[in-house]
Amino acid sequence: MSQQQNNLNPQSEAHLHGPLFQNTLQNFDEAAKIINCDPNVAARLRKPRRSLTVSVPVRMDDYTVKVFTGYRVQYNSTLGPYKGGIRFHQNVDLPEVVGMAALMTFKNSVLGLPLGGAKGGVCVDPTRLSRTEKQNLTRRYTSEISAFVGPNKDIPAPDVGTDPQTMAWFMDTYSHEQGGYAQPGVVTGKPVEIGGSLGRNHATGLGVIYITERAMEVNQMQMAGSRIAVQGFGNVGSFAAKFAHERGARVVAVSDVTGGIFNGDGLNIPEVIEYVKQNKGVKGFPGSQEITNEQLLEVECEALLPCALEGQIDTHNAEKIKAKLIIEGANGPVTNAATKILDKRGIFIAPDVIANGGGVIVSYFEWVQDIMSFFWEEADVDSKLKAIILKAFDHVHKFKLEKNIDMRTAAMAASIARLEKAMLLRGLYPR
């Protein structure tokens, strides 16, 4: 039965669909076919379980009240409590959050974590808020979704525009609403002083580099001396650039919202990080040539690491990419159609659900440590992260070679296979 015949009321869910979710569903349908996924399971996995939209009134510094819109989408909880980040960004809307929540579901499954998938966000430009306004926004958003989250229900984490401080406010607000008892396990990515995990802050960037090294290895390349370009210099991109630099790679280009910088001999990344602290962006870094974000993607290099937002590489620029490897630090940076073009051109893509999985893997560790109230050494965290992320990569890569398909389809297929088994075991309620 085609999806259209299967869908008795297609209009009713139009408001959930945006480009990211459509891409994910295309990828899903292709992968489901390859593994012969049970059609009843596939039909359930194509839809979010529930989507919450909330109004978030915030007292601004000038004493006016502004009302923002927030979301929390709980996509699937077959494998465990819902898990996924919270994004503060001016482009956040319900379809984007649905797409991200779907990706989280497939990410947690392919990584082998005992977690379901969710995502949240508020439509706001956080760079235009004062610290007090951001705190007010975070606390009220937390309060609005607090009935739906909890250490055994749904555990948020940072994403674009949120950070450990935001998670601390989230944890504090939720704890107050639970009678004032500290509830560290409700959120991950917290500062270590209040139940965060060592190694969580750099986890996504470190995972990206573990995957870059492995992708290089299976493609007969090596990190030392290779040229790397990184789009996005936030939590993911800046740590990925730092770890690549430490391993002897030449990071030739990086970029952020202020633009891009290039140096063919390699940028001094620790100095770029210091420069960004002082200047709020990479633009103008001494000894570099100015490039645009668009040009950064087309730089001559061994590995391109898109670590910013979704939809950066699509059919308009896929032919112009010169990298040999693309490691997706962001969620959804390469569209499905672009994946096909790049795959034909022999460009190897390590897909988001594996490549940026370091964040949620160490979130999982943080949640476990909070529940046990027993905390691990940083070296322990890093090595356990490495074991889990490389195991997922190797499993998917083997499947890719067996079936002669691209890595994105292989990762989705492995993810669906695990979810399918679990869903068939749990069955349908009532039946």
> Would you name the residues annotated as active-site residues?
119
Stretch that binds ligand GLU, among 55-63, 128-136, 241-249, 355-363 (CB under 6 A): 355-363
Longest dimension (CA), the chain: 66
- Residue 85 in the binding site for ligand GLU (CB under 6 A): yes
Single residue of 48, 70, 81, 84 touching ligand GLU by CB under 6 A:
84
Note whether 313 and 293 are within 8 A (CB). Answer: no
- Residue 126 in the binding site for ligand GLU (CB under 6 A): no
282 vs 307 by CB, closer to ligand GLU: 307
118 vs 303 by CB, closer to ligand GLU: 118
The distance of closest approach from Cβ of residue 419 to ligand GLU in the complex, given in angstroms and rounded to an integer, is 17
70 vs 260 by CB, closer to ligand GLU: 70
- At residue 210, the 3 state secondary structure works out as helix
- Residue 235 in the binding site for ligand GLU (CB under 6 A): no
The distance of closest approach from Cβ of residue 230 to ligand GLU in the complex, given in angstroms and rounded to an integer, is 17
Stretch that binds ligand GLU, among 190-198, 217-225, 340-348, 353-361 (CB under 6 A): 353-361
Note whether 107 and 360 are within 8 A (CB). Answer: yes
Single residue of 154, 159, 406, 420 touching ligand GLU by CB under 6 A:
159
Stretch that binds ligand GLU, among 78-86, 175-183, 219-227, 333-341 (CB under 6 A): 78-86
- Residue 89 in the binding site for ligand GLU (CB under 6 A): no
The distance of closest approach from Cβ of residue 42 to ligand GLU in the complex, given in angstroms and rounded to an integer, is 23
184 vs 260 by CB, closer to ligand GLU: 184
Strand-pair category, 325-327 with 82-83: unpaired
Q: Taking CB positions, which residue lies at the least distance from ligand GLU?
A: 85
- Residue 306 in the binding site for ligand GLU (CB under 6 A): no
Q: Which amino acid is at 373?
A: S
CA distance 203 to 381: 9
Backbone angles phi, psi at 61, to 5 degrees: -65, -30
Single residue of 23, 328, 359, 381 touching ligand GLU by CB under 6 A:
359
- Residue 363 in the binding site for ligand GLU (CB under 6 A): yes
Note whether 331 and 351 are within 8 A (CB). Answer: no
Using CA atoms, how far residue 416 sits from 8, 41, 253, 322, in Å, is 24, 9, 36, 32
Binding mask 178-217 for ligand GLU (x = CB under 6 A): ----------x-----------------------------
Stretch that binds ligand GLU, among 136-144, 359-367, 394-402, 422-430 (CB under 6 A): 359-367
Strands in 220-354 per DSSP E? 227-231, 250-256, 259-262, 289-291, 303-306, 325-327, 348-350
| 125, burial (CB in 10 Å: exposed 0-12, middle 13-18, buried 19+) | exposed
CA distance 83 to 352: 16
159 vs 420 by CB, closer to ligand GLU: 159
150 vs 259 by CB, closer to ligand GLU: 150
CB contact burial 241-271 (16+ within 10 A = b; e otherwise)? bbbbbeeebbbbbbbbebbbbbbeebbbbee
Q: Which amino acid is at 221?
A: M
Helices assigned H by DSSP within 247-377: 269-279, 293-297, 336-344, 352-355, 358-372
CA distance 388 to 357: 9
Single residue of 46, 72, 83, 134 touching ligand GLU by CB under 6 A:
83
- Residue 351 in the binding site for ligand GLU (CB under 6 A): no
42 vs 330 by CB, closer to ligand GLU: 330
Residues in contact with ligand GLU by CB under 6 A are 83-85, 157, 159, 188, 331, 356, 359-360, 363
